[in-house]
Amino acid sequence: MASFSDFLSAETMRRLDHLVLASRWTAEGGRAGRHSSVLKGASVEFRDHRDYVQGDNLRHLDWKLFGRTERFFIKQYQEETSLRVHLVLDASASMAFKHSGLTTKFEFARELAAAAAYLAHHQQDSVGLVIYDDQVRRWLPTKGGSRHVRNFLEALAAHQPAGRTDTGKALESLAEGMSRRGLVLMLSDLLDSPDAVFRALAHFRRRGHDVVLVHVLDPAELTLPFDGVSDFIDMETGERLEADAALVRRAYRDAIDSAIAGFRARCGALRVDFRIATTDRSPAEFLSVLLADRRRLGA
């Protein structure tokens, strides 16, 4: 029977006990909790308006304000509810890479997902899991409770990275099944078509989710620290390329920097929180810094 101790040390769990997992915006959960909600009811207090997002409940549109501005706004009400935390994990073959990091990219992402689930469970929030490569291999919709958490951890423990990446194909229809807004933490090495990745992210954003995209990398993928002629093998296709690392290092680093800048810019346009996580760091340390940054920004 899987437990958090299979992924997290006692010291890590003590460190996580001092953190708070939250959304930058409002939550829409299924029971009372610590997060502010957009749910409407007779006993809740009107708080503010926000722009309409496709998929919002039309009952909450402020038609009087539309008559004055000819723009659609949603009424927001204040009540406390639980947060729905969706962990979306890339399990394609490239995530099995390890060179100079402490773990493979998949092991790092899996531990980070377990740490986020630990926080959600101890905050009495709901947690869900999506594992994908070129299709969704496992999907556990968000729920709370110890039995669901055991299922979550057993799914994490059982899966191993394999197959090619096709983020767009795998996740395109998933957002429709994640109808209630929440926090989406997507963990991937992003070795995929950027357009496919951002089509998937746009689906989540249109549903009103607060999205964090974590770019998981082995440090060697940033620096290309190899010497002499090396044989580079694509872990998903088996394609091989022989090259002198010293001769291509500058061009490689420029290409990596350009790709990261592109991801950062496109995430900014979508209001997606973009982060880089290298596998030489502790996942708990990464999560601690991430949540501290988001708290300063209002999450």
31 three-state secondary structure: coil
The whole-model pTM stands at 0.81
Higher-scoring residue by pLDDT: 42, 272 = 272
The residue type at 199: R
Phi-psi region of 160 (alpha: psi -120 to 50; beta: other; left: phi over 0): beta
The answer on pLDDT for 136 being more than 90 is yes
Cβ(228)–Cβ(242) below 8 Å: no
Distance CA 199, CA 202 (A): 5
Higher-scoring residue by pLDDT: 163, 64 = 163
Strand partners, 184: 86, 211
Higher-scoring residue by pLDDT: 55, 162 = 162
Ranking 18-32, 36-50, 141-155 by mean pLDDT, the lowest is: 36-50
Q: What is the mean pLDDT of residues 43-51?
A: 57
Domains of the chain: 4-25+81-296 (3.40.50.410), 40-78 (no CATH)
The answer on pLDDT for 85 being more than 60 is yes
Distance CA 222, CA 219 (A): 5
Cβ neighbours around 17 below 10 Å, total: 10
Q: How far is CA 47 from CA 71, 73, 214, in A?
A: 19, 13, 32
What confidence tens digit (pLDDT) does each residue in 170-206 have?
887 776 678 778 999 999 999 999 999 999 999 999 8
Phi, psi angles (nearest 5°) of residue 99: -135, -70
What confidence tens digit (pLDDT) does each residue in 265-294 have?
999 999 999 999 999 999 989 999 999 898
With a CB cutoff of 8 Å and minimum separation 6, the contacts of 162 are: 91, 92, 93, 133
pLDDT band at 37 (very low <50, low <70, confident <90, very high): very low
What confidence tens digit (pLDDT) does each residue in 53-81 have?
665 677 778 888 888 888 887 775 544 45
Phi-psi region of 33 (alpha: psi -120 to 50; beta: other; left: phi over 0): beta
Phi, psi angles (nearest 5°) of residue 244: -85, 110
Pick from 70, 36, 40, 37: which is nearest to 52 by CA? 70
Distance CA 71, CA 191 (A): 39
Q: How far is CA 133 from CA 16, 89, 94, 107, 168, in A?
A: 29, 9, 10, 15, 10
Angle between helices 105-122 and 146-158 in degrees, nearest 10 = 180
pLDDT at 25: 64
Cβ(110)–Cβ(138) below 8 Å: no
pLDDT at 276: 98
